[in-house]
Chain A
Amino acid sequence: QLQLQASGPGLVKASETLSLICTVSGESFNGRTYYWAWIRQSPGRGLEWIGSFYSGRGSYFTSSLESRATISVDASKNQFSLKLDAVSAADTAVYYCARQRRTDFDFWGQGTLVTVSS
């Protein structure tokens, strides 16, 4: 059974960079078959798609975050990561990593809470 686990610092200072890693287990990590996504959830905004990494095609991001977000993949470690620059209180959320089929998200990690402090 595929499992995803997001991890990273639970507290980040405003204006700094948020860095999260998603570790994939339970089956071979195959970047060519699936896409990999980051999604966040905050009380005021509900679920928000951040962006996705498409093997061989690069990354796509929601327009409001594309200037600050980066997604990369390390297939040798079965991991993909998210970096979000210049964070503010508005970036406080539970961050989920997910496996994406072309048009939906079929497996989700448990999520990790990131709080941005001033």
Chain B
Amino acid sequence: QSALTQPPSASGSPGQSVTISCTGSSSDIGAYNFVSWYQQHPGKAPKIVIFEVHKRPLGVPNRFTGSKSGNTASLTISGLQTDDEADYYCSSSADSNNFVFGTGTKVTVL
């Protein structure tokens, strides 16, 4: 199972928006509406910010939105804040009870 493809980096100024893409295949993202996104600050464990493509866990601000089209999922962070600076990983269910993660994107707040 190959890793999902994400851009290595993305950036924006405070208050702006940034969108991260996550490209898979018809065996993972394209087959299931089970895409999740995780935020990871340096030295910390990942934290879920989006599940089932577009749903937010309790406590995650609505500045985080998720979507999917075909084999590509996206995470948009609007109204960027300094605390949003972190690594972001997508994940998708895949065939045969598998899971696959993305390559990760480092978001920088300029």
Write the residues of chain A forming the contact surface with B, with a CB cutoff of 8 angstroms: 39, 45-49, 52, 54, 60, 62-63, 96, 101, 103-106, 108-111
Given A103-B32, A103-B36, also A47-B89 (CB < 8 A): yes
Distance A105 CA – B98 CA, assembled complex (angstroms): 13
Q: Is the beta-carbon distance between A106 and B48 smaller than 8 angstroms?
A: yes
Task: Give the size range of B's interface with the partner.
Answer: 20 to 34
Write the residues of chain B forming the contact surface with A, with a CB cutoff of 8 angstroms: 1, 3, 32, 34, 36, 38, 44-48, 51-52, 57, 89, 91, 93, 96-104
Distance A101 CA – B100 CA, assembled complex (angstroms): 15
Distance A104 CA – B46 CA, assembled complex (angstroms): 12
Secondary structure class of chain A's binding surface, majority of residues: strand
Distance A62 CA – B101 CA, assembled complex (angstroms): 12
Enumerate chain B residues within 8 angstroms of A111, measured Cβ to Cβ: 45
